[in-house]
C-alpha cells in the first residue's frame, strides 16, 4: 500500500526556534512585536493575520508533494474547522484534515458541515478525531475519562454515518438520539470523509476497528509498534473492515547529522520521543521506511518552522520513502 504523507500545520504560532517565546509568527502567545521602523512607501494597512501564514504553509505542502495537511486542535490556536475552510480554495489537490473535538458538536450537525465541506473541496475532507484523558486545567471542564470520550465518539460516528445518506436513520443511544435522520439532495451522496483516530489503548484501537480508515500511533519504535498494528488489524478483521496504520512524528532532520542531533537535543532536553527521527535526511528516511515495513502506511509529519521545513522535508526525505522516489512531474 502506498504511503500517504500528511504535513502538520502549526496551530498556535511558529518560528525558527524551538523556544516558543521567540516565535514571531502568530499572534497568540505574546510574541515579540517587531514594528518596521523605516516608513515603507506603501502606507496601506495590509491586515495580514496568522491565517495568511497558515495558507502559506498549506501551499508549501501542496506544491512540494505532500498528500494532505493535518490541522491540530490546540487551546490557544485557531479553530481547525475554520482553518480548513479558509484553506479549501487556497489548495486544490491536497486533503485537509482538521482535528475535531467530536464531543463539542452534534453528530448530525457535524455531518452536515462535513457534507458541505465535501462539496466545497471535491471530497478532500479528512476528519481527525482525538480522545485524550481529561487534563486538569482543560477549559471545557467536562472531566470525561478517555473511556467515556471514546464511548461518546463511537455513538457520534454511528450517527454521523447513519445520516450521511438519505436515511431515514433512527438511533437511540446513551449519548445521542436521532429520529428519521438523513440528508436530502444535493447534500447527500457526497464521498464519505476519511476518518482518522488516534490513541494507544485497546479501546481506542477497537473504536478505529469499527469506524476509522486510519489509526494514528504516537512515536514509538517500529518493533514496539508492530504488535499494536497487528492488534489493530485483528480487531478490524473481526468487523470485516481494514484500517490503515499511521504514525505521527516530529522530525528534526538536516543535511548534517550532528547539526540535527544538536537541534534535537535543544528541542527535547530529556530525549526525543524516538531518537531515530532526529538525524540526517537519509537516516530519518530510512527510519520512516522501517515503519513502513512494520505496516505503517500513513505518516503525519511536522517540523519547525513548518513553512520552510515543508520544502526541506519534501525535497530531502519524501523522495527516499518507499514508492515515492519517482519524479513528481516529468520534464517535457
* Site for another protein, rule CB under 8 A: 16, 24-25, 34-42, 44, 46-48, 52-53, 56, 59-60, 62-65, 92-93, 255, 307-308, 311-312, 314-316, 318-319, 324-329, 331
CB of 223 to another protein, least distance (A): 29
Identity of the residue, 93 or 142, whose beta carbon is nearer to another protein in the bound complex: 93
Please, what is the minimum distance in Å from the beta carbon of residue 194 to another protein?
A: 20
Measured from the CB of residue 156, what is the shortest distance to another protein in angstroms? Answer: 35
Q: How far apart are CA 318 and CA 327, in angstroms?
A: 11
Report the residue number, 88 or 105, with the smaller CB distance to another protein. 88
Write down the least CB distance from residue 51 to another protein, Å.
Answer: 11
172 or 329: CB nearest another protein: 329
CB closer to another protein, 257 vs 312: 312
CB of 124 to another protein, least distance (A): 14
Closest approach of Cβ 143 to another protein, in Å? 41
For another protein, the closer of residues 178 and 310 by Cβ is: 310
**Residue 65 vs 199, nearer CB to another protein:** 65
Amino acid at each position: 500500500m502506498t504511503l500517504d504523507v500528511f504535513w502538520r500545520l502549526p496551530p498556535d504560532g511558529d518560528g525558527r526556534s524551538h523556544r516558543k517565546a521567540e516565535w514571531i509568527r502568530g499572534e497568540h502567545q505574546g510574541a515579540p512585536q517587531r514594528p518596521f521602523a523605516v516608513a515603507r512607501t506603501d502606507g496601506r494597512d495590509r491586515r495580514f493575520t496568522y491565517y495568511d501564514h497558515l495558507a502559506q504553509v498549506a501551499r508549501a505542502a501542496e506544491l512540494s508533494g505532500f498528500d494532505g495537511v493535518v490541522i491540530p486542535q490546540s487551546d490557544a490556536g485557531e479553530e481547525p474547522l475554520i482553518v480548513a475552510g479558509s484553506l479549501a480554495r487556497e489548495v486544490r489537490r491536497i486533503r485537509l484534515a482538521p482535528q475535531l473535538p467530536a464531543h463539542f458538536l452534534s453528530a448530525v450537525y457535524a455531518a452536515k458541515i462535513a457534507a458541505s465541506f465535501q462539496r466545497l473541496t471535491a471530497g478532500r475532507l479528512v476528519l481527525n478525531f482525538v480522545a485524550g484523558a481529561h487534563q486538569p486545567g482543560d477549559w471545557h471542564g467536562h472531566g470525561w475519562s478517555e473511556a467515556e470520550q471514546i464511548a461518546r465518539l463511537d455513538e457520534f460516528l454511528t450517527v454521523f454515518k447513519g445520516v450521511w445518506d438519505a436515511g431515514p436513520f433512527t438511533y437511540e443511544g446513551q449519548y445521542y438520539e436521532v429520529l428519521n435522520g438523513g440528508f436530502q439532495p444535493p447534500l447527500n451522496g457526497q464521498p464519505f470523509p476519511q476518518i482518522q483516530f488516534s490513541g494507544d489503548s485497546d479501546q481506542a484501537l477497537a473504536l478505529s476497528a469499527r469506524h476509522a480508515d486510519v489509526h494514528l500511533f504516537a512515536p514509538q519504535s517500529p518493533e514496539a509498534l508492530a504488535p499494536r498494528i497487528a492488534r489493530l488489524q485483528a480487531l478490524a478483521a473481526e468487523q470485516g473492515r481494514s484500517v490503515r496504520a499511521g504514525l505521527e512524528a516530529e522530525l528534526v532532520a538536516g543535511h548534517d547529522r550532528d547539526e540535527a542531533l544538536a537541534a534535537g537535543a535543544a528541542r527535547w532536553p530529556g530525549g526525543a520521543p524516538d531518537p531515530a527521527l532526529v538525524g540526517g535526511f537519509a537516516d530519518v528516511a530510512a527510519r520512516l521506511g522501517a515503519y513502513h515495513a512494520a505496516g505503517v502506511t500513513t505518516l503525519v509529519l511536522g517540523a519547525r518552522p513548518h513553512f520552510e521545513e515543508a520544502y526541506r522535508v519534501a525535497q530531502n526525505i519524501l523522495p527516499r520513502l518507499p514508492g515515492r522516489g519517482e519524479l513528481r512531474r516529468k520534464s517535457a
